[in-house]
Amino acid sequence: MDKKRVAVPLVCHGHSRPVVDLFYSPVTTDGFFLISASKDSNPMLRNGETGDWIGTFEGHKGAVWSCCLDTNALRAATGSADFTAYELIISLLHSFEHKHIVRASAFSEDTHLLLTGGIEKILRMYDLNRPDAPPTEVDKSPGSVRTVAWLHSDQTILSSCTDMGGVRLWDIRSGKIVQTLETESSVTSAEVSQDGRYITTADGSTVKFWDANYFGLVKSYNMPCTVESASLEPKYGNKFIAGGEDMWIRVFDFHTGEEIACNKGHHGPVHCVRFSPGGESYASGSEDGTIRIWQTGPLTQDDAEALTANGSAGKVKATAEEVSRKIEGFQIEDEGNPREKEEAGNE
């Protein structure tokens, strides 16, 4: 008798409050890694394939809204409601002070710059080779910054706002907006595809795909609910995932918009979804405080049991041994923050 095929995710526990951002590193000699941001103020680093916990970055005093890893997976950056953006290296910390909540951060492709944005409506670029130098700022954003990303070999940055529609593309040489991709609702998720060909956005109940070089709208699909995040499969680009308020993660055909699969398991709205760099799995983060890693194809019951034994236990072992050795015992010291506000962690 054929075994029943079921979709069983790896469940990664550890966060005590909603997971609001996820980021996969590219594939490195040690594998690939997944970092998560949560309102519990403690970003976590995991093995991207198994979900095994590697380490927790401590030090923020408010909700952490964004996280990212550089192309070598040697540095992490986080943006928080405590008015700081941290650049985290295994044994070194830089804290970049802001005047309000930092909602978005991104390393440049060459890893030399860190881009931040937030409630201040200012996009800042920090030179990581000179972390004490003042940042470069572009023209003031028309609204509070929700997402940021780099494209065109670090010559262009994109941003979206929490309080208005559209994605704005900035030329870093002039510091001016050169193009706006129009959307009816505010864009809650913006992702540049691995090959640099598409920009994937989620706004309201719509997922859109834009040509990243000519900025035309390629495809637009209406979703069954309000979605917060979407991600395009990086290897073949033939499907995409979306998650939102109905707690389900749906898989769609990129070319037709047909729903291929609907994965249930979260117990709260899905705030973020991301494909792994090879497209063999994807991760989702939810209001329920968990991260779930889903295999691209269905699993047999035997596969599911093996994966559960290996990955769902969470903080058991890290298969990326070198990174695990470096990060062992790592803890950011509490340096305090004179601008900290009592309500910062709840915003």
Region 53-68 average pLDDT: 93
Whether 265 is covered by a domain: the verdict is yes
Whether 246 is covered by a domain: the verdict is yes
Instruction: Compute the distance between CA of residue 290 and CA of residue 83 in angstroms, rounded to an integer.
Output: 25
Contact 43, 76 (CB under 8 A): yes
Kindly report, residue by residue over 117-126, the tens digit of the pLDDT. Answer: 999 999 999 9
Predicted pLDDT of residue 58 = 87
Predicted pLDDT of residue 84 = 81
Predicted pLDDT of residue 297 = 62
Whether 29 is covered by a domain: the verdict is yes
Predicted pLDDT of residue 6 = 53
Share of the chain above pLDDT 90, in %: 75
Q: Which two tokens stand for residue 133?
A: 């130098």
- Closest CA relative to residue 181, chosen from 214, 150, 154, 206: 214
Res. 88 pLDDT band, cuts 50 70 90:
low
Contact 161, 180 (CB under 8 A): no
Predicted pLDDT of residue 338 = 36
Residue 50 lies in domain = 10-298
Whether 345 is covered by a domain: the verdict is no
Instruction: Compute the distance between CA of residue 299 and CA of residue 310 in angstroms, rounded to an integer.
Output: 15
Q: Return the higher-pLDDT residue of 340 and 184.
A: 184
Instruction: Compute the distance between CA of residue 284 and CA of residue 294 in angstroms, rounded to an integer.
Output: 8
Q: Report whether pLDDT(187) > 90.
A: yes
Kindly report, residue by residue over 205-234, the tens digit of the pLDDT. Answer: 999 999 999 999 999 999 999 999 999 999
- Closest CA relative to residue 270, chosen from 6, 52, 9, 5: 9
Res. 8 pLDDT band, cuts 50 70 90:
confident
Predicted pLDDT of residue 94 = 81
Q: Which two tokens stand for residue 217?
A: 């709208």
Mean pLDDT taken over the chain: 85
Predicted pLDDT of residue 267 = 94
**Torsion, Cα of 113, 119, 121, 127 (10° steps):** -10
Whether 347 is covered by a domain: the verdict is no
Predicted pLDDT of residue 93 = 65
Q: How many domains does the chain have?
A: 1
Whether 335 is covered by a domain: the verdict is no
Region 67-75 average pLDDT: 93
Q: What are the contacts of 79-82 at 24+ separation with CB within 8 A? A: 79/37, 79/103, 79/104, 79/105, 79/116, 79/118, 80/41, 80/344, 81/344, 81/345, 81/346, 81/347, 82/41, 82/337, 82/339, 82/340, 82/344, 82/345
Predicted pLDDT of residue 233 = 97
Region 339-346 average pLDDT: 42
* 74-99: b (≥16 Cβ within 10 Å) or e: bbbbbbbbbbbbbbbeeeeebbbebe
Kindly report, residue by residue over 14-55, the tens digit of the pLDDT. Answer: 999 999 999 999 999 999 999 999 999 999 999 999 999 999
Amino acid at 295: Q
CATH classification of the domain holding 60: 2.130.10.10
Instruction: Compute the distance between CA of residue 144 and CA of residue 159 in angstroms, rounded to an integer.
Output: 10
Res. 263 pLDDT band, cuts 50 70 90:
very high
Q: pTM of the prediction?
A: 0.83
Q: For 146, phi and psi rounded to 5 degrees?
A: -105, -45
Residue 307 CB neighbour total at 10 angstroms: 18
Res. 302 pLDDT band, cuts 50 70 90:
very low
Whether 343 is covered by a domain: the verdict is no
Whether 272 is covered by a domain: the verdict is yes
Share of the chain above pLDDT 70, in %: 81
Instruction: Compute the distance between CA of residue 212 and CA of residue 189 in angstroms, rounded to an integer.
Output: 15
